[in-house]
Structure 1
Amino acid sequence: MNSTYRFILQPYKGVATRHTCPACHKKRCFSRYIDTEKQISFPDDVGRCDHEQSCGYHLTPKEYFERNPMSKPMHSDSAAPMTRRAEPTERRKPSLIESKTVSQTLHGYHLNNLYLFLGSKFGAEEAERLIGAYRVGTSKHWPGSCVFWQTDINGSVRTGKVMLYHAETGKRVKQPFNHVTWVHSLLKLPDYNLRQCFFGEHLLPMNRDKPVAIVESEKTAIVASYYLPEYVWLATGGKHGCFNTDALRVLRGRQVTLFPDLGATQQWREKLPLLKSLGIEANIFNFLEESASDDERTEGYDMADYLLQIESDQAVLQSMIRRNPYLQTLIDELQLTLVSVERYNPDTDTFPKSSKTEKS
């Protein structure tokens, strides 16, 4: 039977009609959307991965047009059936993960590779604070994996992304396959209505006076919040994630800065008109794109990669300043330069005799 819809997944006509998934990077498993009227050509990432359980990637034409309103066809019912206008229906509420399921993951951090990495950089106390603030869980799906719970502005959990990192390097495990999946897929919840929100969105109500910073990676949001706590750091969870009208509404009236990964600056710059149309004051941080080396571009550096290069002494100093903000005033007034605080004991608030600061 012929489809009555204008935008459909490309029918299978051999391996040439199945492509590499932009999310899990598996070959010949991705179906792209096509326009049956042959007027619109969608980008290569508008489509659905066949691996619904292990990947679950699905970017629909509707979501694409929400993110790119200028690309939407002039007639308003273009995404509806061609032979009939869709009857108005009540919009389905997003499905949620039970709080009991979430609570069961909020422990066992000694087995969580992301926690171990953060602890090696910032110390166990700071790692626990960061993990707790962002409500990161521990998963048993892969030994050492974590769960990035997407907790919305009302405190409800939309879903969780399970990912595996190397404990020593903090890099994602992508061999022999990309270790990423979704909690709602693992739980095999029937008829799950997934409507993603920003990772870290639950921090917005308690930080109303702070500007908002948006990055792609959940790990980057956590790391950046340690170095630059004057922002509320959120993550989209993907290059195109959360750049739609529904997800962006929570930022209305906020001052927002986008911090794209290297290579994604232009794509994120194209999102600015959408944010502006929603009453969101937004700008883009393009310093990385302008100053990055060729190697850094090849590696696809993001904010976390640069921030983690800050000397450990400076990281400890920032932790001290958070404990006592007056210390920053003292440093500024006396023009002090850090020599060494690598053996600073935060529990006793003391230095070894060899550690000091000196005037520059």
Structure 2
Amino acid sequence: MDNFRFILEPYNRHQRNRYTCPSCGKHREFTRYIDTQGAISFPEYVGKCNRINNCGYHYTPAMYFDEHPECKEYNKSFPIVKDKKPVVCHPRLPPVRRHTDTSFIPDEIMQQTMKCYEQNNLFLYLVNHLGYESALHLMKTYHVGTARKWKNATVFWQTDISGKIRTGKIMQYNAETGKRIKEPYAHVSWVHTELDIPEFHLQQCYFGEHLLYNSRKPVAIVESEKTAIIASFYIPEYIWLATGGKNGCFNEQNFDVLKGRNIVLFPDIGMTQEWKEKCIQMRKRNIRTEISEYLEVNANDVERVNGYDIADYLIKVKSGEAVLQSMTRKNPALKLLIETFDLELSGFGTQ
């Protein structure tokens, strides 16, 4: 048998050298590649997920060398294969177990994350556009926390209408652009995965579902958690919920919590047809549902290619609070003047 230089790291039960998959987020299911000669230390995303059928992520050394030609000097005995890119799937959720009880996460765990917002990239982005006080209020209202993972990630807690915590989705954002970090892999994980809770039975709920309790406002549904937060600032007449992605909770199992309410769906550009089918399903269950096609009809080519959603348009309007912050940073004396004479800023933004 040939002795290969680059191999998957053999399992060592003392070192517990199985890691969290960068694609599906499953704990202790990822095997990294190693160099048997010890000359190369591959990045942590070079490896293979053991969940072949449920994930399929496989980033080989050949792919790494293909993208990093500067390493060719170490690669003379390992020819580069011009193969297709690794299969990087969206994180797949554990299968819903129909005959088991839903698992929950203790409230105190969530509360531990509801701080350190100055280290939270999404919070910093919202502060820049909406202002500090508004951003802080939104994080608290929507149960958004801060995670140590990736140093400054965001936790979107899924709290159902009864106040029970189903799980938390951990995601990383760019503090300047507000976009998700997807390179070199999608920075997405789950609280129950990180805590390694045994026999955790996940039943997702809408992000923001807890806001339905004791409120009869009409409901608007979007895909992204970030979008729901931003839209709630600009259009507070609605309770904004998020499905949490294409494979989130937007299914018949979660429709019942919406009964008796007026629902408006705001699909991302390119998702309108699929959400029309959801609209039909909801109406069949006697849920009063409408769908907005404005973005789909009016989007330009650039917006269509980038899959814009309603937040991408709303965020272009800076709030009065954010404008004031920007002005006082440039001229600190202005802040003293405003506080001394109790002045109010008007004519900017939406608030």
Please tell me the TM-score bracket, short chain as reference: 0.5 to 0.7
Which stretch shows the higher mean deviation, 115-124 or 219-228? 115-124
Shift of 1:270: 0.8
The match for 1:146 is: 154
Secondary structure of the structure 2 residue equivalent to 1:97: coil
Matched, 1:301 2:308: yes
The match for 1:270 is: 277
What are the equivalent positions in structure 2 for 1:320-335 lying under 5 Å apart?
none
TM-score under structure 1 length normalisation: 0.66
Of 154, 157, 172, which residue of structure 2 is paired with 1:164? Answer: 172
Counterpart CA distance in 2 for 1:348 and 1:98 is 47
Shift of 1:48: 2.9
Please list the CA deviations of residues 292-351 of structure 1 after superposition, one character each: whole Å capped at 9, or x if unmatched.
Answer: 00000111101110101124459879xxxxxxxxxxxxxxxxxxxxxxxx9895997514
Letter in structure 1 aligned against 2:128 = S
Please list the CA deviations of residues 221-242 of structure 1 after superposition, one character each: whole Å capped at 9, or x if unmatched.
Answer: 0000000000000000012422
The match for 2:86 is: none
Of 328, 343, 346, which residue of structure 2 is paired with 1:350? Answer: 343
The match for 1:96 is: 104
Letter in structure 1 aligned against 2:197 = L
Please list the CA deviations of residues 25-64 of structure 1 after superposition, one character each: whole Å capped at 9, or x if unmatched.
Answer: x9997999xxxxxxxxxxxxxx83257xx9751486xx8x
Of 192, 203, 206, which residue of structure 2 is paired with 1:184? Answer: 192
Counterpart CA distance in 1 for 2:260 and 2:189 is 33
Secondary structure of the structure 1 residue equivalent to 2:99: coil
Letter in structure 2 aligned against 1:291 = N
What are the equivalent positions in structure 2 for 1:200-349 lying under 5 Å apart?
200-208=208-216, 210-313=217-320
Counterpart CA distance in 2 for 1:140 and 1:290 is 41
With over 3 angstroms needed to count, the CA separation of the structure-2 counterparts of 1:268 and 1:59, relative to structure 1, is farther
With over 3 angstroms needed to count, the CA separation of the structure-2 counterparts of 1:189 and 1:301, relative to structure 1, is same
Structure 1: stretches of 5+ with no match in the other structure: 1-20, 33-46, 64-88, 318-341
TM-score under structure 2 length normalisation: 0.68
Counterpart CA distance in 2 for 1:282 and 1:137 is 31
Counterpart CA distance in 2 for 1:151 and 1:29 is 30
Residues 239, 264 of structure 1: 8 Å contact kept: no
The match for 2:130 is: 122
The match for 1:73 is: none
Counterpart CA distance in 2 for 1:356 and 1:180 is 39
Residues 150, 199 of structure 1: 8 Å contact kept: yes
Letter in structure 1 aligned against 2:343 = T
Letter in structure 2 aligned against 1:288 = L
With over 3 angstroms needed to count, the CA separation of the structure-2 counterparts of 1:282 and 1:109, relative to structure 1, is same
Matched, 1:57 2:63: no
Residues 222, 265 of structure 2: 8 Å contact kept: yes
Counterpart CA distance in 1 for 2:347 and 2:313 is 26
Residues 128, 322 of structure 2: 8 Å contact kept: no
Counterpart CA distance in 1 for 2:206 and 2:148 is 24
With over 3 angstroms needed to count, the CA separation of the structure-2 counterparts of 1:276 and 1:345, relative to structure 1, is farther
Shift of 1:169: 1.2
Residues 25, 188 of structure 2: 8 Å contact kept: no
The match for 2:74 is: none
Secondary structure of the structure 1 residue equivalent to 2:305: helix
**Greater RCO (Cα-Cα under 8 Å, separation 6 or more):** 2
With over 3 angstroms needed to count, the CA separation of the structure-2 counterparts of 1:346 and 1:241, relative to structure 1, is farther
Letter in structure 2 aligned against 1:304 = A
Of 44, 48, 59, which residue of structure 1 is paired with 2:54? Answer: 48
Counterpart CA distance in 2 for 1:179 and 1:91 is 31
Shift of 1:96: 0.5
Structure 2: stretches of 5+ with no match in the other structure: 1-22, 27-45, 58-88, 325-333
Which stretch shows the higher mean deviation, 259-268 or 241-250? 241-250
Counterpart CA distance in 2 for 1:130 and 1:158 is 20
Identity of counterpart residues, as a percentage?
Answer: 47
Letter in structure 1 aligned against 2:54 = R
Equivalent pairs, count = 267
Shift of 1:164: 0.6
